[in-house]
Structure 1
Amino acid sequence: MQIDKIKGHQTDQLFKAVLELKDMEECYRFFDDLCTISEIQSLAQRFEVAHLLRLKKTYETIKKETGASTATISRVRRCFDYGNEAYDEMLGRLYPDEQPFQNPRAK
């Protein structure tokens, strides 16, 4: 798994803190203290790119709707193709009526 490269005490502490967040307001306050506005916007943009890829939108449509570069879209797409399936898992929880991502490279 690719996640081994980010594992460590500091990362564990951060993720434990995230798991302790109780509501949306607390999330906003925590991430406002933790990250710059640009960092939060980048994370949010990637997640929206993932959602649009899951909906089978074209790169051009995603670029127009999110302002993401083709490099960002490609990076998120690589996560769908070769990653830990976390984008699809989280999007499935948020949007249970949508179809999961179908990887044409999967056998």
Structure 2
Amino acid sequence: MSDIRTKDVDDLLRVLASLDDEDTVFALLEDLFTIREIRETSQRLAVARLLAAGKSYAAIEELTGASATTIARVSKCLSYGSGGYRAALDVLEAD
């Protein structure tokens, strides 16, 4: 595990995992992150979804406004990351 996995991070994970109401999660996100950070994080998830659907970088850039660098970073995480994006996409596909 990386150096970022501390007790404080584990506490945050425990809180996030225990919240089951989207409005409460959103309220926490609003308190924890800036509007820009929420938008950028949401954009990365949208990029992951489009990459998984086989869309081209150009199409994703046009649809989301994400930079080629962001798209490449998300693509790398989808292929070689810890599986977080895949787990998130599985949740979205289950809906």
Question: Please, what TM-score do these two structures have when normalized by structure 1?
Answer: 0.82
Q: Which runs of 5+ in 1 are unaligned?
A: 98-107
1:53-92 matches, cutoff 5 A: 53-92=51-90
Matching residue of 2:30: 32
Q: Which runs of 5+ in 2 are unaligned?
A: none
Report how far residue 31 of structure 1 moved: 0.6
Question: What code does the residue aligned with 1:27 have?
Answer: V
Question: Please, what TM-score do these two structures have when normalized by structure 2?
Answer: 0.91
Which structure exhibits the higher relative contact order, with contacts defined as CA atoms closer than 8 Å and separated by 6 or more residues? 1
Consecutive aligned runs of 4 or more in structure 1 exceeding 3 Å deviation: none
Separation (CA, whole Å) in 1 of partners of 2:65 and 2:2: 31
Between the two proteins, the alignment pairs up a number of residues equal to 95
Matching residue of 1:41: 39
Separation (CA, whole Å) in 1 of partners of 2:33 and 2:26: 10
Aligned-pair RMSD on alpha carbons? 1.5
Separation (CA, whole Å) in 2 of partners of 1:6 and 1:61: 34
**Greater share of helix:** 2
